[in-house]
Chain A
Amino acid sequence: MGRQWGPSMRAAEQAGCVVSASRAEQPEEGLWSCSGVILSRNPVLVLCHGGIFTPFLRGGSGALTAAGATFLPGDSCGDDLRLHVQWGPTAASVAGRKEPGRPGLCTPRC
């Protein structure tokens, strides 16, 4: 991708993550997921899209368009919300944890 993109690629892959939301009592319902950005590392703060939280809003999606609503506190979603964040090795192994000789990507059984 050329030299001009080196720093951006590193920043992007270190900050990139996947966020998934599911219901504690109803895992069979499946999960909602989207992408996200790691904003800080200690503690790990992540910014992601709000669309995956709509099914969990106590007041329904109408709460998002209520007049003057610019933010909703965390407890505006139900207690059965379970969130998980997953990121790649570059984000976690900041210092020297590369396994020499291992390919970056291969065709895992998916």
Chain B
Amino acid sequence: AGLEPCKAAQPHGRLLQPPHAAELLLLLSCPAFRAHFARLFGSEAAEQWRFASAAPDEEVSGEEEEDQLRALGWFALLRVRPGAEAEAACGPAVTVAPLGAVAKGAPLLACGSPFGAFCPDIFLNTLSRGVLSNTAGPLLLTDARCLPGTEGGGVFAARPAGALVALVAAPLCWKAREWVGLTLLCAAAPLLRAARDALAHLPDVAALAALLPPEVGTPRGLPLRGPGPPWAAAAVLVEFGSVWGSGVAMAPRLVVTCRHVAPREMAKVLVHSANPKSVAIWGCVVFATQETSPYDIAVVSLEEDLEGVPMPRPAEYFHEGIVASNTRDNNTGATYPHLNFSIPITVLQPALQRYHQTGDLGGLRELDRTTEPVRVVWRLQRPLPAIPRSKL
């Protein structure tokens, strides 16, 4: 609100083309995308998902929100009126990556214009990099940052170079009033097939189907879910009653997770692994740091081996660690998963190794006695200045 459309750039600015008039040829949707969307987000239990571009506490009428949800999987094919300069160029503007050609975890580049036509001088074709975070058929997720207005923007792969992978379906996802830093995409290849099918039903524009961009590169076997990168196999899902969270399998019967997921020692938790096959194994929480410890860590001992799961090799030096908490803005209720307090694995490794080899929890107990500077950082507080003592 409050944004005013910008006029085309001044001569000394970026020379944007003036807007060209266009006509709507058809509205189309990808049936498979909508089917996966309904399955994943349409049931009662999934009711807490919101894909509206407004923040949860912004006033959006129920009707408006329903309109947005109904239109979520729909796209439009337009034809620009003759006379637009781009017509002088020849050949397809883009190539399209077949569904399955891009593996989970592969780098992606999103290109959209936040706030649409309100300020194209600044925001036209804003780029944002991320990875293919997850897939369900043609319904893709990426962690590339996308803002309202980028709906419909293209998402491109590094390999095949410059190939269009998807279009942005919903830039913002909210779950239980928390912003989930993932953007919902609709794969481009099935969408363009839907466009070809639709054009075939409209005689006066059917010939345009031949102008739609070709698919390049061979799909790597379907379904996309494949084994994924080996390090992803060590990621497990830990379930404790109605609470769930992620964890890392460090050894066939040893899983590290967070205390706020598995808070009580000796409690029973269920650990799910999806790679190489889907298994669920009970485990016991053998250690959990105290609530006051900045190290939000718990250790689970499994009742059976996690078979075939490649075990991660802890790094010698660190610039990464285990994500212990997201950052939450208590005013808006938004949670920012990409702003984390992370614990370097090298801090945990000696204690984990000692427990793994001897069953001795002593090293882990040390995590409850941390130094003040670590506590201050965890509380996101400024270090307290040394308060001069009074000489009285």
Interface residues of A (CB under 8 A from B): 1, 4-5, 7-16, 18-20, 31-55, 61-62, 64-65, 69-74, 76-77, 81-89, 91-94, 99, 104-106, 108-110
CA distance A5 to B161 in the complex (A): 8
> A44 to B86, Cβ gap below 8 A?
yes
Stretch at the interface among B11-19, B284-292, B338-346, B350-358: B11-19
Chain B residues whose C-beta falls within 8 Å of the C-beta of A48 in the assembled complex: 75-76, 78, 152
B124 and chain A: residue at smallest CB distance:
A88
Interface flags, B58-91, vs A, CB<8A=1, else 0: 0000000011101110111111101011111111
**Interface flag for B121 (CB, 8 Å):** yes
Interface residues on B, range: 35 or more
CA distance A61 to B69 in the complex (A): 10
- Selected from B71, B82, B122, B167, the residue in CB contact (under 8 A) with A54 is B71
- Selected from A7, A9, A34, the residue in CB contact (under 8 A) with B151 is A34
What are 5 of the A-B contact pairs (CB < 8 Å)?
A40-B211, A41-B87, A44-B86, A88-B14, A105-B122
CA distance A7 to B27 in the complex (A): 30
CA distance A102 to B129 in the complex (A): 27
- Main SS class of interface, B: mixed
A12 and B31 contact, Cβ closer than 8 Å, known pairs A33-B117, A39-B213, A43-B211? no
A86 and B18 contact, Cβ closer than 8 Å, known pairs A51-B72, A72-B26, A81-B24? yes
Would you give the shortest CB distance from A103 to chain B, in whole angstroms? 8
> A51 to B16, Cβ gap below 8 A?
no
Would you give the shortest CB distance from A101 to chain B, in whole angstroms? 11
Chain B residues whose C-beta falls within 8 Å of the C-beta of A37 in the assembled complex: 93-94, 152-154, 164, 167, 188
CA distance A12 to B120 in the complex (A): 15
> A18 to B120, Cβ gap below 8 A?
yes
**Interface flag for B274 (CB, 8 Å):** no
Chain A residues whose C-beta falls within 8 Å of the C-beta of B158 in the assembled complex: 4-5, 8
A110 and B94 contact, Cβ closer than 8 Å, known pairs A51-B72, A105-B14? no
CA distance A53 to B24 in the complex (A): 9
> A43 to B82, Cβ gap below 8 A?
yes
**Interface flag for B181 (CB, 8 Å):** no
Which residues, 91 to 128 on B, are CB-close (under 8 Å) to A? Answer: 91-95, 107, 109, 111-113, 116-122, 124-125, 127
Chain A residues whose C-beta falls within 8 Å of the C-beta of B67 in the assembled complex: 51, 54-55, 61
CA distance A37 to B212 in the complex (A): 12
CA distance A15 to B86 in the complex (A): 11
**Interface flag for B267 (CB, 8 Å):** no
**Interface flag for B217 (CB, 8 Å):** no
Stretch at the interface among B195-203, B235-243, B245-253, B373-381: B195-203
